[in-house]
Amino acid sequence: MKGSLIVVAFFALGCFLGWSGYLPETLIENDMTIYALYLLMFQVGVSIGCDKKLKEILRSIRPQLLLVPLATILGTLLFSALVGLLLSQWSVFECLAVGSGFAYYSLSSILITQLKEPSLGLQLATELGTIALMANIMREIITLLGAPLFVKYLGPLAPICAGGATTMDTTLPIITRCSGKDFVFISILHGIIVDFTVPFFVSFFCSLG
């Protein structure tokens, strides 16, 4: 949760600096967010490739284990689409793009802002990126706080599905504690697969909206 609060604090600081006019105009005009996006994409590849357990995970994959990330992806997209049907300002595809962040708030928010700017304009694209940031941060926080209840009422796989892309890192400790050490492997595998899908799903739904 501490990491999520730090992200929100930096986001708020960025908003304040942009609004106040303290930043040099050259910094704003050069659109530094695209370089931040490239760096995040590079980081995703490095974090997955450098995982010491990656080879072990790839050797041990059984088809049944893939049902867990599949359930997470399908369930998230289904409920994101249902929310999109209830909202008038945002289309179903835009809501699907937000949901496709799977709690990877930093990458999904920047991607959505960049990809939707040509069709929505800077202001609305920024609003949608902010929604993605807050929605995916809330998903991580809900997993961190609600994991014990998820296990109690829905079973040991529930916090893994709730955690989305974070189950390989930030939510792994609470999942290990609540679901048990037997679910560590599934949690890491789930996180790697879901993490890998984020840029593809977000880009796809942004192109449709």
Note the pLDDT of residue 65.
79
Note the pLDDT of residue 55.
63
Burial class (CB in 10 A: 0-12, 13-18, 19+), 127: middle
Place of tokens 């993605």: 132
Give the start-to-end residue ranges of the domains of the chain: 31-208
Q: Could you give the CA distance from residue 180 to residue 88 in angstroms, rounded to a whole number?
A: 42
The larger pLDDT score, comparing residue 184 to residue 15, is at 184
pLDDT tens sequence across 65-104: 789 999 999 999 999 999 999 998 999 999 999 999 999 9
